[in-house]
Structure 1
Amino acid sequence: MDALEQSLKKAFIDQNIEGSYYDPKLIINQPQQKEFLLNTLQEEIATCRDFFFSVAFVTQSGLDTIKAQLADLAQRHINGKLLTSTYLAFNNPEVFKSLLTIPNLEVRISQREGFHAKGYLFTQADYYSFVIGSSNLTMNALKVNYEWNIRLTSYEQGEVIEQIHDHLTSEWAQAVPLTTDWIADYAQRYQPLMKRAPQLPAVAEDKQAYIVSNKMQQVALKSLVELRASGAKKGLVISATGTGKTYLAAFDVRQAKPKHMLFIVHREQILNKAKESFMQILSDEPAENFGILSGNQKETQAKYLFATIQTISKPAYQELFAKDYFDYILIDEVHKAGAKSYLNVLAYFTPDFLLGMTATPERTDNFNIFELFDYNIAYEIRLQEALEEDLLCPFHYFGVSDYEKDDMVISETTDLQYLTNRERVDFLLDKINYYGCSHNTPKGLIFCSRKDETKALARLFNERGIPSAYLTGENSVAEREAQITRLENGDINYIFTVDVFNEGIDVPKINQIIMLRNTQSSIIFVQQLGRGLRKDNSKDFVTIIDFIGNYKNNYMIPMALSGDTSRSKDRLRKGTFDTNYISGLSAINFEAVAKKRIFKSIDDAKLDSMRELKQTYGDFKNRLNRVPYLTDFSQQAILDPLVIANKFESYYSFLAKIGDNEGTITEKQNKFLQFLSRELLPGMRQQEIVLLSKLIESDHALRKQDLAALFADCHLIHDAATIDSVLATLSLTFYTGGLKKAYAGAAMVQQQVDQIELTADFRSALQNDYFKKLVVDLLKASYYKSEQFSQTEALTRYAKYRRRDVLRLLNWSEQMVDQNIGGYVAKDGKFVIFVTLEKGTDFKGAQMAYEDELLDNATMHWFTKSPRTLESPEIAKLRDPAHWTVYLFAKKSDDEGAEFYYLGEVKSQPETIKQLEKPIRDGKTRNVVAMDLQLMAPLETELYKYLR
């Protein structure tokens, strides 16, 4: 049956028929499941040969969601059309100006009265797809609103697609082309009927408007009251930049009612803004109760004193006050409190309550901020949560490719001359203008890598008529404030900077952040991104344009955006090709070339270096105030335990290496941990974890016939073959070759007739309480990881497996060495195929260049081993779906390691099976058989695009 015909029958006649990528699909935005219409549109754009959108309403934010995909199409010389309208004056002049910046998009304005269409048509390789429903090209419609849309497919000769083509051709011919003159005329007569709701409450001229605490602040305030009621004298608030920490502090001062308060900041320019915020919240207090202590002002009699650390840390000023004079002290940006100046202040004053506030408590100097505040975290809200709570301005992040000429790409070692040549400036401006900003008039910060670069680029921007300034650490506070004022007032469009604005600056009107530097750390990345996240009525969103060169640290970009500190390469790859984790009206998009550079960085990065692991471990230990264990890492998603398991024999080996082990174990005991770490910790099957935990807990033997009931009670597969496989794993009889030798003596379970019990060696080892603690912790961490896997199917689709894992989970009685498996293996009705899609120019030692390829998201073009013919036994098996189940696994390249994604069950397409002759290394040829393998269910598009 033809694939399209099959999909139509599945959709409209019998849902039990196998589907394909042609399947009709109802699309509803489901934020909880991270499923959006936006995903479908981006997927269709990425693969199309041309497109035609007919939508009434377009917003800048909606257009932004597809700009990166359109830029990739432009690189391939693929164009499209957009037919829109002026219906209800919804589309403002700014969005029409933005549309004109897209070089491969032709736009026309319908003259039809009441134009309210919402349709998206795509020409794909050998079919058409179209999405029709209720969604306009707006961020709300694509990602947030409850909308109904349907995706359908058709061949060229289909009646419906013919009607659509005829209608769009007619409408296009009658529409008016979008031009600069048309926009100018429209702007003159533009009067919006639908006004934007203000983002923030209006503040009266006397700045005494009543301000209500937001949701985050209400929870934090309640927590602070409870903390003080418990007798605590210190508290730490961890809150993302822009979520209102200063207002929170003022609200808490209002409810704590101190006699004297001291607010400490690290920069003088923050003082006045902090003071103004407090005066708004404490509006009943007279103005003379608020004072400043700095290099320029000495208002030491004020009830509420706002001081710079540079001044209050001097003994001469401290001694103006009794040690207990301030009963409430607040420290802003408290992650700096490890400095001597802060420690001097804290050593002198004895307040009733000390509050620290920071967005980034993690330190690189090993100072323990958590210890300083007695490990009392009053409240914590990070970037993702703040976006979900609508506390921050939405951001549109674009990871774009940096300037490249003659195969030379910007890197850490690029000469200044190359960074600041006129061609690169033209390149930067093209990208900046293309991705734009809210309302098209930029008020932006541009982060550079070095001081001379900021000066040179600012000069070159000014030469091109773009008013710009630069600021470095050499500029005075007064100079910085003057340039910020110019930016806010619109006198300049950009401030180029290095080492100045990572934190401690509050410019709510910033609507564009441009990154022209290597990502030094995920903390700094978030700090810089955070400069634009404060809400303001002057913007609907902030645009982040990150120019990505050949930087070694590119892997930190998905780490920072997703908040993933697991140091798992697979999770970082997923955070790059699937960005649905970002919440609300924010969006993350990468151009294809930029994405490739990130993948390369992930492949090359040493994420398990001792320095990195010690830093992550130390930060987590500081937070917990104790040695963390594998379960802690798993539950709080701090570090993937497998990173340690794959680098050391066990977690104990790591702890011993850094001198933090809380006990000692023998080499033989550590071998048990090595086996558990390498084989059970990944959590791919719960049965081994459940059985071993039960035996350790009860220390009694179990009858083999009781295992089925034990597994059934846990809702796990419990057939005889699975039970035998579990026992073969724990008794080590499954393992062969090098692993059998490596694990020798580490069997934990044995079978005596019908009795299943712990081995004598393992039972003896458990007498060591520290060893038992490590085992129980490891099993808990394994169980936690196992929740990511299906418990009703042997294999979980899209999970990653090593070859031996697959054989074990499919209940092979004995492991096969990877080299003996190669590309596939078949046994007992199960045919397992492993494909490495990018094999490199040297074929990694293979005799032949196998050209395996994903043709689409449901078809793999695949080659057998050589020499093989149509009469070879495996061909007969692949032709026999009644007796053989075929499982397909794939990875992008060997740079990903030994694990393969499970793509699902497949069937060979008989009409595609062909015997070929292909050359081998010595110039001779060998027979090989090629065929198409049809997936029973199409791949999710993001993984498909990544593997392609």
Structure 2
Amino acid sequence: MDNLRLTTENIYPHLLQAIEESSSIYFLTSFIQKSGAALLADPLRKAAARGADIKICTGDYLYITSPDALELLSSIDGVDLRLYRSGNRGFHPKAYLFRKEDEGLMIIGSANLSESALKSGVEWNLSVNKDVDPLVFEQALEEYMKVFHHEKTVEVHPETIKGYRRDYEEYHRTYPEMPEEESELSASDGRLVETVITPHEIQREALRSLDATMEEGYDRAMVVMATGLGKTYMSAFFADQMKFGKILFIAHREEILRQAEATFLGVNSSWRTGFFNGSRKERDAEVLFASIHTLSMLHHLSSFRPDEFDLIIVDEFHHAAAKSYRRVIGHFHPRFLLGMTATPDRLDGGDIYVLCDNNLAFQMDFVQAIERKFLVPFRYQGIYDDIDYSQIRYADGRYNREQLDQAYIQESMAKKIHQKWMEFRQSRTLVFCSSVRQAQFLSDYFNQQGNKTVALHAGTKNRIEAVRALREGRIEAIFTVDLFNEGVDIPPVDTLLFVRPTESVSVFIQQLGRGLRLAEGKSHCQVIDLIGNYRNLEVKLKLFGELNRKNGKTEFAPSALPDICEFELDTQAIDFIARYHEQMPLRKRRLMNSYHDVKQKLGRRPEYLELHLHGWEDVRGYKQEWGSFPEFLLDVEEELSDKERSIIMTYKDLIRDVERTAMSRSYKMVLLKCMLERGPAKWAHPITARDVAPFFYQYLADAPYRKQKDLTTQTLKGGYREKAVSQLIQTMPMNKWAGSSKGIFGKEGDAFYVEGYQSIHSVELHRFISEICEYRLHAYFERGTGNS
């Protein structure tokens, strides 16, 4: 083809040819109509069948995208479809990117995915061959991945389609006015670079722990260090001291990669460094700093050998539950994998502990760092928030932005916030808002009262100058949304104002860390926060202490804080918390809501362990309220087949016993796991301790964290000896379980079995028991790693 071609009508045959010839197919359009999806469905289906990497991202701006189009495209196996939740932000891209081996093509212009745009409409589209400018082509791929994996995009599956269809129909029924455009800020002050060049006390402790964990045989670990303690320097010292060969450092933002390179060169200036991102592919570097967006592309990732790197460091490891990170981590087999984060919060979307073999090598959270005087103390002031969040739609882990804006963008709300800020503030304030519109509204209001503030967003000019002005005290506050969550710090900031519900505990901890940096003349950080009936209030408060029921009232005790920190609530907030359990939904309803949130996120019925990892309620509540997790499912409308319902009712006692049997060690569930390995038809049949022994020992020995916790008895420490291991299994899980299960499990001679095993062959029962077994094993070993 020509290197450059302008097409002013009927781009369809060119798209069709590119789809047929390409191994990577990436679409980014502001909307998709059913007619356009129908035109391309068969070609995409054929491309997926031959193994092409297909990604499609579209937006919900003005609800033009057809839910029927989403349904059609999501039904194609092998198509990765995501929806950009635009809120009030304009979303207008039209780009089609293709790659085949070393060849590439991008088509950028005016055509969305509709039949008229692709075939008959007047549309200007420019087709550009990769050879015209390979760097620009790679930049386009990089920018595409940033949008595709942006926190505002959600995976399209039946649950998200159901929610989108409801919003789509409501929008088109009511015809609201066109929303104002909104942009989120992702820039940073590139001048902010750590300057420490030798390990401080806490970094030395972390290095000793990593050295010990390698001695114990682990090949991966996670280090949790509060914001401000120098995780990146610690990782550079680790890489240098252990004399690793080729090193890969992975992050999701360019500024983090640039700062990391400067840090590593500060530790060892002889390292040959390079970048792997949209514009640079310096793969021969000794220390390679890679963008996850670029590295996770299949054609890039597959170009690296699995054993190419001796050490892999993943920064901001709390993101590692995402598919892009899992793909990269699963591809490589380094000598050692190090994950670093300040917020290992599994409530925000995944089990990152599994990715490092449940090995938490070192932890120093913000409370411990304050006690050690590596961070300043804080004074927390909770302000009552009378917004009724139960009336605001909640989906995909966040509240509806338009409805939040309607509640927040009120002069009465702004007046209350300003008064409280004036009462408690110090000299320099960061204000965290829920949307750019809210940030601008509040900044304008504060300025009208005579204060000097700015709102930072993508359209703000001289952002670096605004940060400098706050640091130097020429302005009093910066209003933003998520600008300062990661990678950027202004140490002189001494006041944090939160005017948003806490949707993510991880994000709250990151934002709290922005005010805890040590700085000259700074004695403490003042925190001003809203206390209301939003979903994560209880989880957030548990960072600081305990909620206790006493004489019919709920009281909060800040028992988790150091003495040098202060925690105060205004009178209304105290009254609200006293009535907290009366005002919040009943526990059963909260557990049900948590279940539906996880189901919507996954697009299917969650397994028990997935609910533990992704839900915001303690999953032990399901057995406490319903008797067992499967019995809870009986209460979920249209969730179970008639056969599944019958199985649960028939084997309720067996299910409950597996859920509830006491576990001082993992042995019962390891025994059960071995039985379940035999499949649905035979799992309940008799099994001898000698049959179980090899599996039992190997399961505990395979993972260092299991070995460390449960392969510690004298019988098991000396290596595998069939007779000794068999005797332990007979004495511990088999005899104890058969003796305590009231006829559910039996033992005759040396054989252990489920009573009535002759009639147990149900696939459904096997699945329910397996889910409980996997959850209980995970929860047991999780407690042993300090991250329960």
TM-score (norm 1): 0.41
Larger Cα-atom Rg: 1
Bigger proportion of residues as helix? 2
Higher relative contact order (CA 8 A, sep 6+): 2
